[in-house]
Amino acid sequence: MKQEIRIFFTALMFYTRIPCPSTTDHSPDYLNKATRYFPLIGWIVGGISAIFFYIGAWLFSLEIGVIFSLAGGVIVTGAFHEDGFADTFDGFGGGWNKKQILEIMKDSRIGTYGVIAIIALFSLKFYSLHGLLSRIEDTRNEVFILLIFTTYHALARLTAANVIFTTSYAREDETSKMKPIAMAYTYKEIMGAYICGLLPLLSLCLFFNLLFVWAIFPLVVLFYLAKRYFQKWIGGYTGDCLGAVEQMAECITLLVFFVLWKYM
């Protein structure tokens, strides 16, 4: 149990800015095992985002509440995944071969492709989340809204974890801190990721509406296409690629929920 707690705190420290015990470090062994808790981190980020939404919506308006929720997610993660999303679009948009793509993604500066992609991403997130929440007649249903937030964050991280489980790491050097996670995993990591990733969705389906299960299918398509694309151009994935998949999966899940709500 102590080991599992330490693995969890390793994941929490790596994927968020939430303070962790001083004994927590970036041990390669624990980083390998931390993948099992990647979707569980989505519960935490989603829960905090929901709290930011409640505060913003209560004090101001639904629109500001949605902006608060998106800002809360960025604050908690330190824009970890958003940074990878922007770097990926810069790399694949400006590079013509594996070497160029990896060099551009490694650059800390953001380019035109990254800026445009981030604007489009947050625009889609805002309007899909606002459209979904504005259609919920009883916005005081805190449990339902909390599950919406935790589900889309957990599913997005599970989608990114699937890339880790099925694709090789692309970089041949030690320049990325994501490499230890990519190099080793066991059935415990796979089972843990799937349980933590699917449990919020299962709760939505059981307690509210079975139609929510349809969110899985476009995420499978995203995973398959992203995996093939990364494999074709750089021979695998990088940490930035995982951030891109995670952010696109968040956006797709919200868009699917928005569409599904019309039929509920």
- pLDDT score at 180: 46
- Asked if residue 36 has pLDDT above 80, the reply is yes
pTM of the model: 0.93
| Total Cβ atoms within 10 A of residue 212 | 24
Mean pLDDT of the chain: 90
- Please give the sequence-ordered ranges of beta strands (E in DSSP) within 41-168, or none if there are none: none
Find residue 237's DSSP bridge partners. Answer: 169
Q: Work out the percent of the chain whose per-residue pLDDT is above 90.
A: 74
Domain boundaries, the chain: 40-263
pLDDT band at 177 (very low <50, low <70, confident <90, very high): very low
**Cα distance between residue 178 and residue 170, in whole Å:** 11
Closest CA relative to residue 192, chosen from 227, 151, 161, 238: 161
As a whole number, mean pLDDT of residues 184-200 equals 90
